[in-house]
Amino acid sequence: MHPLLDRFSAVLLDLNGTFMFGQDRFGRDEDYHSTYRGLGGQRLSSEELRAAIDACIRQLNRRYHDPASHDVFPSVAKVLEELPETSGRSAAERELVERVIAEHEVGRVPAEHAAALECLARTHRLALVSNVWSRKELYLEELRRSGTLDLFAALVFSSDGSSIKPSPVLFDRAIAAIGVTRSEAVVVGDSLPCDVAGASGAGLASVWIDREGRGPCAGATRPDWTIRDLRELL
């Protein structure tokens, strides 16, 4: 085990880009309509569906990068309810579009990262603190499939409320749920603005996963430690 972990009894883990990969598949080459039809959708054409999803992702991205929205972040369902592309559709049709977005947002947990989490859970209390746009059900399914769901003493998904990292709200929930002090917990994640800056704002130590080894950009909050991969903690 990495010696830095000797200082802590709990690890607060980010999800996407930390131990889940292949997420956020919203590029021009994605076949949304195939996913839609697989879920039973029939009414929307491929062009209508793509226009709706593109508009929704643009709106979510705009709010995601606006500090004023970090504690008033809308749900996917709320955005679809307000967009011109989907506001006139039935609630059932909007739910189908929401499910397509969720299917393309969720990633996979590789076996080697699942094994790393299992090792960490033997010595530390683990909590998940994750920014996700979609409802958590598909994420729970993937955590269950990978055998990692029961390794966490607490699961904090941003889509359960209206706050997103770097707001301290999510970190506060995790700390309260696992019953440790701030000095006993360290945040591990791959995002400087969300995980590292969020940890700093919440009074927590941080480990940044710098996968490409580029180092922090100018003006970014500096992590307490830097690694290239979660498995380095072992």
**Residues 73-130 pLDDT 10s:** 999 999 999 999 999 999 999 999 999 999 999 999 999 999 999 999 999 999 999 9
Nearest-angstrom CA–CA distance, 147 and 18: 16
Ordered DSSP codes for 67-120: GGGTTSPPPHHHHHHHSTTTTTS-HHHHHHHHHHHHHHH--B--HHHHHHHHHH
Partners of 188 in the β-ladder: 13, 207
Order of strands, sheet of 225-227, starting from the edge strand that comes earlier in the sequence: 152-157, 125-130, 10-13, 185-189, 205-209, 225-227
Average pLDDT, the chain: 96
Residue 206: its H or E element:
strand 205-209
Provide the pLDDT confidence category of residue 219 given band limits of 50, 70 and 90.
Answer: confident
Report pLDDT for 58: 97
Of all residues in the chain, the percent with pLDDT exceeding 70 is: 100
Examine the pLDDT at 215 and tell me if it is beyond 90: no
Residues 6+ apart with CB under 8 A from 144: none
Task: Please give the share of the chain, as a percent, with pLDDT higher than 90.
Answer: 94
Per the CB < 8 A criterion, the answer to whether 231 and 212 are in contact is no
Say if residues 220 and 192 touch (Cβ distance below 8 Å): yes
pLDDT of residue 43: 95
The backbone region for 133, taken as left when phi is positive above 0, alpha when psi lies in -120 to 50, beta otherwise, is alpha
Cα dist. 158→44, 110, 148, 175 in Å?
A: 29, 23, 19, 15
pLDDT digits (tens, 9 = 90+) for 4-33: 999 999 999 999 999 999 999 999 999 999
Segment 199-214, tens digit of pLDDT:
999 999 999 999 988 8
Grouping H, G, I as helix, E, B as strand and the rest as coil, residue 127 is strand
What is the structure's pLDDT at 220? Answer: 84
Instruction: Judge whether 180 and 125 are in contact, CB under 8 Å.
Output: yes
What pLDDT was estimated at residue 101?
98
pTM over 0.85: yes
Secondary structure of residue 185 in the 3-state scheme? strand
Q: pLDDT digit string (tens) for 121-130?
A: 999 999 999 9
**165-186 CB burial, b ≥16 within 10 A, e <16:** bbbbbbbbbbbeebebeeebbb
